[in-house]
Chains A and B, each alone.
Chain A
């Protein structure tokens, strides 16, 4: 995968900006923050063109929207992404959201089994919200994070997630995280990993997504296939000002367990692509990969 197609994985803003945002959420209503953000978005669309153009191309070419609808769709997409970011800081300030969870039994069922399993998340909706709700007392959830995350953000996330039996593992360059990840799976824990962006290894798998070839990172699917692990996928989709709907799906099938390793990892990737396609057809504006995702 070329350097241009890899995401840098960095959080923006300075620590004092983040603190100020959290402080504002303690006194300001969420709706007011959304309103301020709505006024700022056009400037962001103008001055961060790669984000705007990538979403415009996605809506035009992959969702089949006309040019005018796609243009306004870009604004709506950026607005929804902004709400996801603001909701994150609202959570750090102590606010909570309604999060009805669909098919939670898939998560609780695997949590009751002795072996570990994988949970794939995607930059669709707000995957961080999932972490607050999908709690297992029996198994610790290990969330693989990008190494570019600012340390103060990481500290807040750790403080919020630790009571939920969640550990953050930073995918650092020295690969020490791999041993921690390996130990977690061997101990029967859960590993939560993004299935739509590469980090660590540049190797990918090709799938058909919304009518065009796309490359998914090999790592999550290889990890599942090499250890023949159960795999869930989860999506947290904004459904109201103070609500997210969480959806959980099982990706692996009994037939996949009988396949050879390479066939199994491709089958998992294809299953994930079909699922992602279905989600994007229903929630086209909550796609938050702001770069040219397709070939």
Chain B
């Protein structure tokens, strides 16, 4: 799980062009949106694409999606349980 979280942080930094950030700057349980990392709607779409391309997971339910995208930890847990790649 720790390896997956690190991989996820690296992919997010790359996909969202978070310049001057390293994985250690992102806390596992910090909110991804509004506070914490402060991501926005365009970033959310990038994360959905990241889940599809790298893990074969398509998020279409808003209720489920909001839970998954709460933090790095919630994303990693969901990926581990549902990945097809």
Contacts and interface: CB of A to CB of B under 8 A. Distances in A.
**A and B together in one complex:** yes
A219 B41 contact: yes
Interface string A195-229: 00000111100000000000000110011001100
A92 B3 CA distance: 56
A181 B65 CA distance: 12
Interface residues of B, number: 19
A183 B58 contact: yes
Interface in B28-85: 33, 40-46, 48-49, 52, 58-63, 65-66
Interface stretch (A61-69, A73-81, A107-115, A171-179): A171-179
A201 B41 contact: yes
7 contacts: A178-B44, A179-B60, A179-B61, A201-B40, A201-B42, A203-B40, A203-B42
Given A174-B66, A175-B66, A182 B40 contact: no
A280 to B, nearest CB: 27
Contact of B62 (A171, A176, A219): A176
A226 B45 contact: yes
Contacts, number: 58
Size category of the binding interface on chain A: 20 to 34
Most buried by A among B45, B59, B62: B45
Nearest to B44: A178
B62 A222 contact: no
Contacts of B48: 178-179, 182
Nearest to B51: A182
Contact of A226 (B46, B58, B59, B63): B46
Which one of A174, A182, A203, A218 has the highest number of Cβ atoms from chain B below 10 Å of its Cβ? Answer: A182
Nearest to B15: A226
A200 B34 CA distance: 11
B66 A176 contact: yes
